[in-house]
A and B are shown apart, each in its own frame.
Chain A
Amino acid sequence: MTKTAQRPAAPVRHRPVKAPSPAEDRRRRRLTDQLRAYGFLLGGLVCFALFSWYPAIRAVVIAFQKYTPGADPEWVGTANFTRVLHDPEFGAAWRNTLTFTLLALLLGFAIPFVLALVLNELRHAKTFFRVVVYLPVMIPPVVSALLWKWFYDPGAGLANEALRFLHLPTSHWTNGADTALISLVVVATWATMGGTVLIYLAALQPIPGELYEAAELDGANLLQRVWHVTVPQTRFVILMLMLLQIIATMQVFTEPFVITGGGPENATVTVLYLIYKYAFLYNDFGGACALSVMLLALLGAFSAVYLRLTRSGEEAL
C-alpha cells in the first residue's frame, strides 16, 4: 500500500544518555507518554465531561429537586414526578409522541422503502433522482416547517388549493384537532425521507443477482421476489433504519413548535415540547428534568438495542 517497506533504513539518532537505571528510565518515559496522551485528550475530555456526562447525572439529580437558577436547590423527593404525571398535558404529550412515532414509522418507512426499490430499477437519470430525493433533507428544518405551515394555511394554502383543484373537500390540516398530528407527520416524512432512501439504496446494492434469478426460475413474481429475496437480504438494515427512525421521531420538536405551537387543544404537544415548556415557560426545571429522565429511559432502551444490533451485525458481516 505504501512505499515505506522498500525505504532504506532511516538513520537512527542515538542520543547521548547518562544511563540512569533502566527501570527508572522506563518509568519516566511512561509518565511523559501518559502526560502527552492526556494532553491530546484534554480538550475532548473536558467537553464530554461538561456537556455530556455531567448533564446526564444532573438531569437525574434535578429531577428530585426544586430548582430555580440562582437559588439553592431543594430536595423534594418524587414531587416533580407526581406533579408531571398529574399534568393533563403529560398524557397528551406521550400519546402524541407515540402516535407520531408510529405514523412516522409507517409513512416514513414504507414510502422510502418503495421509492428505493423503484429507484434501484431505474437505469436513467440515477444521479438526478438521488440528488432530488435528498434535497429536502438539506433544507433547514425550520424552513421546511415554515414552508409547510404556509401550504397548510386554510386561506391561500397550497394544500387546500390542490384539493379544490381535484374537486375534493378541503381539510383543516394543522388547524383541526384530528388532522393536525398526521399533517405534521407528512412534513417530517417529506423533510427526512431522503436519508432513508439513500441508505436503503446502498443496502440493495450487494444483493447477488443470482438470488433473483433463482427465485424467478422458481416462478416467483415481482412481489414474491421482494418479499423472499430483498427483504431477508436487507433485514439488518431495515431493522437499523426503523430503530433510528424511532429514536429520531421520539424527539420531535421543530415541527410542532413552529407549525402548530402544540395546538389545537394540545393535539400536537410532544414530550420534548413539554420539556421545553416546563423549563422556559413555567420556569420549572425540576419538572423538565423529571420528564427528561423518563424520555431518556425509554430512548436509552431503544438505543441500547440499536447499538447491540450494530455490534452483532458487524461481527456477522
Chain B
Amino acid sequence: MSTRTLVSPAVLARPRGRAVYWTVFTGVAVLFALALLFPVYWMASGAMKSPDEVARTPPTLVPESWSTGGYTDAWELMQLPVHLWNTVVQAAGAWIFQLVFCTAAAYALSRLRPAFGTLILGGILATLMVPAQALVVPKYLTVADLGLLNDPLAIWLPAVASAFNLYLLKRFFDQLPRDVLEAAQIDGAGKLRTLWSIVLPMSRPVLGVVSIFALVAVWQDFLWPLMVFSDTEKQPIGVALVQLSQNVQLTVLIAAMVIAGIPMVALFLVLQRHIIAGISAGSTKG
C-alpha cells in the first residue's frame, strides 16, 4: 500500500468505498472460483464418478461414491507410467542439453570474442523472428534424414536451438562484473574453470528462469512430439492422451488428464513465487 493506484486510499477508507471494495473483491473471488478453479475440481472429481454417473443429466456436483477405479484403470490401461516416464526423459534431457550447450555458447558469445561473433549472434536473434511452429515440416524432414524419429534426441537437440534462452543467458553474462572474471584469470583459472566456478554460481537466478522455461516448453509442447513420435511406446503423455482418447471410457480419460496435469501444476505450486516473479520481471525487462 505504499503507492496509490487507480482508486485513492481516501475513497477506500469511506464506508461506501469499503462496501464497493468488498463487493468487487467477492465478485472477483467468485468469478475466479467458478471460471478457473471449478473446471479443475470438475475434472478431478469427474474421474471418481462411475461411468453412468458422469454421463448423467443433470450432473451431480459431488460424486455419489468416491471411486479411485478411474485413476487405477487409467494408470494401467493407458500405460501412463510409460508415457509419463517418456515425458520426464524428454523434458529432463532437453533441460540438460539446453543448460550445457546454451550456457557454453552464450558464455563464448559474451566473453570469448569469437571471430564472426556478431554475425552468429545476429543469426541466432534472427530465428526469434521465425515462429517455431511455422517451420515444423522442414524441421521434421531434417530430423527424419538424421534418423532421429522416435528418438528422444529429436526433442533434445532442437531444444538447444532456443534463441530466447540463449539470449537471456548472454545478456546476463554481459552484465557480470568484468573485474571478477579478470581476477579469476589472473589466478590462473582457465575458461572452463571460470565458467564453472565463477560465472555459473553468479548466474543462479537466470539459470533458474531458463530451467523453468525449458521444462515447461517440453512438457506443454504438442505438435512437435506428435510429429516425431509415431511409435506409441515412445510418445509423451500429451500425445498419448489424444491418440488413446477415442478408445477409453470417459472416466478413465478424465483420470488420465488429471494425472497428466499434476506434475506441471505441482511444479508451479511449489515454485509459484519464482515463476510469477520471473514472468513479471521478464516481461518488463524484455
Contact = CB atoms under 8 A, between A and B. Distances in A.
Given A123-B1, A138-B265, A202-B284, A303 B130 contact: yes
A296 interface: yes
Given A41-B114, A135-B268, A292 B141 contact: no
B55 A41 contact: no
A75 interface: no
B267 interface: yes
Interface stretch (A18-26, A46-54, A174-182): A46-54
A72 B223 CA distance: 27
Contact of B183 (A10, A55, A207): A10
B141 A212 contact: no
A165 B136 contact: no
A139 B280 contact: no
Q: What interface size band does chain A fall in?
A: 35 or more
B4 A299 contact: no
B35 A138 contact: no
A50 B264 CA distance: 30
Nearest to A211: B4
B257 A299 contact: no
B6 A202 contact: no
Contacts of B29: 125
Contacts of A164: 58
B188 interface: yes
B188 to A, nearest CB: 6
Interface string B13-54: 000000001001100110010011101101100100000001
Interface in A184-217: 190, 195, 198-199, 201-204, 206-209, 212-213, 216
Nearest to B230: A280
Interface centre among B25, B42, B57, B114, by most A CB within 10 Å? Answer: B114
Contacts of B120: 41, 45
Q: What interface size band does chain B fall in?
A: 35 or more
Contact of A146 (B106, B241, B264, B284): B241
Contacts of A134: 268, 272, 275-276, 279
Interface in B128-172: 128-131, 133-144, 146, 157-158, 160-161, 163, 166
Closest 9 CB pairs of A and B: A44-B105, A202-B280, A43-B101, A40-B108, A37-B112, A209-B4, A47-B160, A37-B114, A55-B138
Interface of A: 1-2, 4-5, 7, 10, 12-13, 33-34, 36-38, 40-41, 43-45, 47-48, 50-56, 58-59, 62, 67, 69, 115, 117-125, 127, 129-136, 138-143, 146-147, 150-151, 155-156, 158, 161, 164-165, 190, 195, 198-199, 201-204, 206-209, 212-213, 216, 222, 225-226, 229-230, 237, 247, 250-251, 253-254, 257-258, 272, 275-276, 279-280, 285, 288-289, 292, 295-296, 299-300, 303-304, 307, 310, 313-314
